[in-house]
Structure 1
Amino acid sequence: MTRIVSGTAKGRTLKVPANGTRPTSDRVREALFSRLDHLGYVTDCEVLDLYAGSGALGLEAASRGASFVQLVEHAKGAVNAIRENSRTLGLDVVVDNAKVETWLAREPNRRFDLVFLDPPYALGEEDLARALQLLTPHLEHDAMVIVERSSRSPEPTWPAQLEREDERSWGDTRAWSAVVRPATTKVEA
Structure 2
Amino acid sequence: MRVIAGVAKGRKLVAPIGDHIRPTKDRVKEAIFNSLHSYGLVNDKSFLDLFSGTGSLGIEALSRGANSAVFVDNHEEAIDCITVNVEKLNYGSASKILKTDALNFLKKKEYFDVALIDPPYKYEHWGPLLEHINAHAIVIESSENITLESDWQIIKSQKYGQTNLLIATQQI
Whether the 8 Å CA contact 2:32–2:139 is kept in 1: the answer is: no
**Number of residue equivalences:** 169
1:145 to 132, 138, 141: 138
Task: Say if 2:101 is the partner of 1:99.
Answer: yes
Cα distance in 2 for residues equivalent to 1:161 and 1:31 = 23
What is the correspondence of 1:142-181 to structure 2 with a 5 Å cutoff? 143-150=136-143, 153-154=144-145, 156-180=146-170
Deviations 1:94-137 (A, max 9, x none): 111001001111243xx21111100001212xx022111111xx
Shift of 1:164: 2.8
Number of the residue aligned with 2:127: 129
Cα distance in 2 for residues equivalent to 1:70 and 1:161 = 24
Unpaired stretches in structure 1, ≥5 consecutive residues? 184-189
Whether the 8 Å CA contact 2:118–2:142 is kept in 1: the answer is: yes
Supply the AA of the counterpart residue of 1:96.
Answer: L
Cα distance in 2 for residues equivalent to 1:39 and 1:165 = 9
Supply the AA of the counterpart residue of 2:158.
Answer: R
The ranges of structure 1 where at least 4 consecutive aligned residues each deviate by more than 3 angstroms after the TM superposition are none
Number of the residue aligned with 1:120: 120
Supply the AA of the counterpart residue of 2:14.
Answer: K
Larger gyration radius, structure 1 or structure 2: 1
Supply the AA of the counterpart residue of 2:126.
Answer: L
Number of the residue aligned with 1:186: none
Unpaired stretches in structure 2, ≥5 consecutive residues? none
Shift of 1:160: 4.9
Supply the AA of the counterpart residue of 1:131.
Answer: L
Whether the 8 Å CA contact 2:53–2:78 is kept in 1: the answer is: yes
What is the correspondence of 1:81-100 to structure 2 with a 5 Å cutoff? 81-92=81-92, 93-100=95-102
Shift of 1:29: 0.5
Bigger shift: residues 89-98 or 4-13: 89-98
Cα distance in 2 for residues equivalent to 1:147 and 1:31 = 12
Cα distance in 1 for residues equivalent to 2:31 and 2:154 = 18
Shift of 1:91: 1.8
SS of equivalent to 2:70: strand
Q: In percent, how many aligned pairs have the same letter?
A: 31
Whether the 8 Å CA contact 2:46–2:69 is kept in 1: the answer is: yes
RMSD: 1.5
Cα distance in 1 for residues equivalent to 2:155 and 2:5 = 25
